[in-house]
Structure formats: structure tokens, C-alpha cells
Structure 1
């Protein structure tokens, strides 16, 4: 064998070794990339909030920062709860009296909170019930206040109780009012208007009317009316074409939520039996049928639900009945997964 042949073989061997090393390194790097991708955290089936006077009403799950976010009706503060159960005070403002609906808008990095006054918050004043109607926008990462929009000027001669929030695919915010027959609209520039005012939404005297609301990706809103125990379908393209979803039975519906299969979760609060119901529809929410239900407890007074990043739905118990009765001493509140 010539020296030239030996040299060529050595060069080929070196190239082979280099290519093999590069391939091994590439595989290792690719595996590292896969391993470095964040996985959804493991959530507990039940979380207990141990703090006097929280009375949480609205809840949502921030899938960007992986935590629950809920509001205290009595303390006027927004809290976060980690998958491990760590609770922190997250956001508030001097105008935040009684936070109701909460929406985590991960796409636009904002936390949207509906704010009312039922005269039962520690921030309430003499005769202030029904006089507050604002929407607060916070930074979803930091809890820093971005904007507050006052909607009370749309109901100058009537009481107002902003209740729940939905956001469509364009980032437009929709807000229900439990004391007036109105759904408000806030555009991307935070300009507010009345989206819909309809006699179908008029609450009975002394009762809550419109309550929970969700945006369906097919281009319409679904909204609950508590006093008449109805779910309405409202097309965004023709809001006055309101229809009632048939085939649904419950009393005193509160918050509503779409699950990962676009089934509708309806929370029946303590004015009813205190249950969660799961409904499905095969005709684009002209009608619906009951899939399952979970008993939460009348005294627990469940109010709203949140779809978490693990695909499960969690319900919060507010014990609002106690607070409405003047009891400010309750210290145990629960967030639990429904089956």
C-alpha cells in the first residue's frame, strides 16, 4: 500500500469521525431542545384558600404564566394561586371595589377585571351599591394597572352591576350588566359603547339578570340570565337576533365557561342547588343536552369556572350567601376540578 493511499484512508477516517461526532451532537442538542420545552404543570384536584374574608367570585386560568387568578369581593383585590398552591396578592387599584368577572387574555398579555359595588365590600360606602361600573385592565405578567374604563355613564338613571367578561378573536371585550339589560363593548382602543340593550335581558325587581358570558369561536356570544335560568345565543354580526338555547335545565345560572371540546359549563350558584353542569350541542347551540353534573354545595355558593392548561375545568366556591347575609368571618374557600 502506498503512502498516498494510507494518507487518503486516514483523511477519510478523520472525516467519518467528525461527521459521527457532529451527528451525535445534533441529536443531543435536539433532545435538549425537546426537554427544554415547558410542560404544563401538574395541577391538584382541589385547592383550599385559607384567609378570612376573601369571598372569591371570579376566576380564570393564566396559561401563559401557569396560575389561577381570582378576585376578592370583600377586599377588592386580585390574587394569584400557583399549581403548588402558593397564593399572592397580584393586582388592585383604588377604584377596584368588588371584582366580579375575570378574564386572562394571554394573546394580548392583559388581565381584564369587571368591577361593581353591591354595598358589601370593605371599600363600599354609604349608599354606594349599584353606583360603580368600571373595567380594569392589568398587565398579565406584572399586575400593573394599564387602564380603567368607566361604563356607569351608559346607565345614568339605573343601577349597574358589571358581572362577567368575554373577549372575541379580535380582542374586543364584552361585559354583562346584572342590574341593567345591557351588554357593553370595549374596542381595541379602549373606547366603550353599548353593544346590545334588549328587554329580554331586563332583570326582575331585586334580582340578578345577565351574568356569565363566553365568546364561541364560531362568531357568537353565549350569555346566562340568572333570574330566568336561561342561556342566550347572540350573533356578533346581528346582535338583535337573540335566541334562547333550548334543552337546558338548572336554576340560578352564574358563570359559564367553554371546555376544551367547546361544551358549555354552567355554574349554578347557591341560590339554586350549587352545582356545575356540562352541556353539549350538535346544532350550533340552538339546543343542548346535559352531559354531566357535579354537586359543589349550596352553602359553598359556586360562582364561576376556569379552563386550565391541563384541559380540566375548575370551579371556585365564593360563599357569597354568607357575605350577603353580613357574615364577613368565613376563612375557607375552595377551587376544585369538576369531573
Structure 2
């Protein structure tokens, strides 16, 4: 969901600008309207909650079905489960930070301070190596200064302290626009980053070096491009394209710049694909929204379970629910079930007189 001259999810900016329409063509041109005020109110300092989260409920074997987390101005679009703290990490469309959710106070504490005038979007936790990874881009700041070059990358941070390990620039070699959107990491520590504006996947090794750029004709679109991405235990990737709700299987993504990419037909088709995650039973949970569809009929906020009987050569809808919160963006798999994030991102594009001061994590 967002945009700039060729792209997708919201990012954050600074002083509120004019209210752009949510069309992706315009969003792309409006660079993801992410420049909301940087006056994000978060408690605590770097590396907060290192001893683990506190909970606002007595039963430690479950989580409430709905978590309303106070975080004025944060507008997170990405979320990941942190098993070391047993809580959620969230990014910020307005601040370029990573925060820890305090499950007792239902507030957030900064783990990674703002890394610049960027938005942190998709997150992935690499527990084996003690890292948290965040896709970032500068669509928001470019709203106020279109002459700024498009820039995006992958931030790699120490999971315990929040210390920056690598800031990997993936802007080079693009078609002039770039927007790192989501990220996943495999067992060997290689990260895969979707670029929604340049229609490509970027492979980054554990030392923070770009090793492959993966493209395919099906990735290309003039609308919002590649979005959610996951690593399957069998070694292939599943990648979603927002526009057209197209799902792709990338076989042996470590082999070369041109691995076998095939489209996964989905029956019945979805409307959009934003964030997604693999569940423990092998099914894929997919988040859809209408944030960048320009009001086209038939699009809606929904969460869908997809299953495959042929190693993701094809997929079918097993269950689908209309989502009660507006503009869900992605989902985190936890020991307590799957939690869908609604980060109030639309406020970035359509500011209200009374901006929301929280975000919502709702169980599937």
C-alpha cells in the first residue's frame, strides 16, 4: 500500500502534505504518502524490553484475540514475532524505526532508533543469528522533495541490542524507481527483499552483500508490484504481486539471477496480495486490502487461507474472512496463532481531524 512514482505501501513523511488519492498510479507518483509527522511517541530507549515482555493478562498460554497498542504517529506496516522476547516487533511508516510491543502496557519501546528519513516496512526475525531485518525506503521524504533520488534497502540489526549491523542499499541497477517492501530470510541466513517499484527480488547474503537480482516477466506491472514473500521449507520462495493478486513460485532462488519462476494459479482468484506468512500446517495466510486499488469495485479488506496439494504448483482458497479492521497490511505467525496487523496507514494519505493513536493486532 503505498507509493511513489511507481510503487506501493505507505511510508512516512514529515509535515502533512495535500491529501493524495489512494490510486497507485498517483501513489506511485506521490511516493507513498508516508511523510507523516515524525513526532512519533514511543517510550523507552534502544534495546528496551531485553528481559522479555510483560503481559496485560494472567494466562501466559494464550494472547487476547485483539491487541490495541498505543503508539501515536507510529503507523506500522510490518510486524514479526520475536521468540526471544515472546512478543511482537513492528516497523514504522512514519519514523524508520523498529519497536517492541509491551504486552502488559500495550505500548511500544524503541529497539532500533530511526535510521534516517525512511519508512521501515516488512520485518523478519532471524533467531538463529540473533538478527532482525527490515526493508526500508524513502518514498515519504520524496513527497516533499521529488528531486531526491529514490532509495531503498535492507536494514540488518542485532536482535538483542538494536545495533545496526548492515544497511544494504538495493537502489543500484533499478529502473530509476525503487521501493524495498517486504523481506524473508532462509535457514542459511540469506535474505530476499521484494522491490515493489522495480519489479524484482534482491538476494542478500549474511554479510550484507547483494548476490542476486531476480526478475521475471510476470513480476512486471505499471501498478503496485511485488509485495509479500516467504521461504518454503522445501527451499523455494512464494512471492505475491499486489496488483492483480498474482502468486509466484521461485524455485532454487540461490541458483542464479534467473531461477525458474512460475505463476501459481489461485482458485478462486484473490483481489490483492499484501503481506503473507506460512502457517505451521503448511498453508499460506494472505492479507488483502483496497488501499492502492483506486476505488475499483470488488476489492476489500480480507484475510485468506490458501492450501496446495501439489507443492504450490497451484493453490485453492480454504477459508476467507472479511476483516473488521480497515487496511490490514500483513500477518505474524506466533505460538498463539496468527495475528494480522492494521497499522492505521490510511491516516498517512487521508489525515483525519482526530488521528488514531493506536494500531491493532487481531488474531485470525
- Normalising by the smaller structure, the TM-score range is 0.7 to 0.9
How many angstroms apart in 2 are the aligned matches of 1:94 and 1:54? 14
Structure 1 counterpart of 2:356, from 307, 330, 335: 330
Q: Structure 1: where are the runs of 5+ without partners?
A: 1-38
Alpha-carbon contact 1:40-1:309 (below 8 Å) kept: no
Of 325, 332, 341, the residue aligned with 1:316 is: 341
- Closer, same or farther: CA 114–222 of 1 in aligned 2, 3 Å: same
Matches within 5 A, 1:1-339: 41-84=61-104, 85-95=106-116, 97-119=118-140, 125-127=144-146, 131-155=150-174, 157-204=175-222, 207-236=223-252, 239-248=258-267, 249-271=269-291, 272-297=299-324, 300-310=326-336, 312-327=337-352, 329-338=355-364
How far apart are 1:46 and its partner, in Å? 1.1
Hey, what's the Cα distance between the residues in 2 that align with 1:309 and 1:129?
Answer: 43
CA 1:324/1:118 → structure 2, altered by over 3 Å: closer, same or farther? farther
Deviations 1:232-251 (A, max 9, x none): 00002565321111134211
Q: In the aligned structure 2, how far is the partner of 1:40 from the partner of 1:222? A: 33
Supply the distance in 1 between the matched residues of 2:206 and 2:76 (Cα, whole angstroms): 28
- TM-score, normalisation: structure 2: 0.75
Question: Shift of the alpha carbon at 1:82?
Answer: 3.4
* 1:86-134, Cα deviation, whole Å (9 max, x unpaired): 4212212433610111001111100000001222x6x975126771212
Q: Secondary structure at the match of 2:361?
A: strand
Per-residue CA deviations over 1:194-224 (Å, capped at 9, x if unaligned) read 33122221122xx210000000010100000
TM-score normalised by L of structure 1: 0.80
Distance 1:327 1:201 in 2: 35
Deviation at 1:192, TM superposition (A): 0.8
Report the Cα offset of residue 48 of structure 1: 0.6
What is the number of residues matched between the two proteins? 293
Q: Distance in 2 between matches of 1:220 and 1:163?
A: 19
Inter-partner Cα distance in structure 2 for 1:264 and 1:128: 40
What is the alpha-carbon distance in structure 1 between the residues aligned to residue 245 and residue 147 of structure 2? 28
Q: State the alpha-carbon separation in 2 of the partners of residues 82 and 337 from structure 1.
A: 17
Contact 1:65/1:141, CA 8 A, preserved across alignment:
no
Contact 1:59 1:70 in 2 (8 A): yes
C-alpha separation between the residues in 2 aligned to 1:318 and 1:137?
Answer: 22
Structure number with bigger Rg: 1
Partner of 1:8: none
SS in structure 1 of the partner of residue 218 of structure 2: helix
TM-fit CA distance, 1:72: 1.3
- Find the aligned partners of 2:266 and 2:203 in 1 and give their Cα distance: 29
Name the SS of the counterpart of 1:322 in structure 2.
Answer: helix
Bigger proportion of residues as strand: 1
CA distance in 2, matches of 1:293, 1:130: 40
Gapped regions of structure 2 (runs ≥ 5): 1-58, 292-298
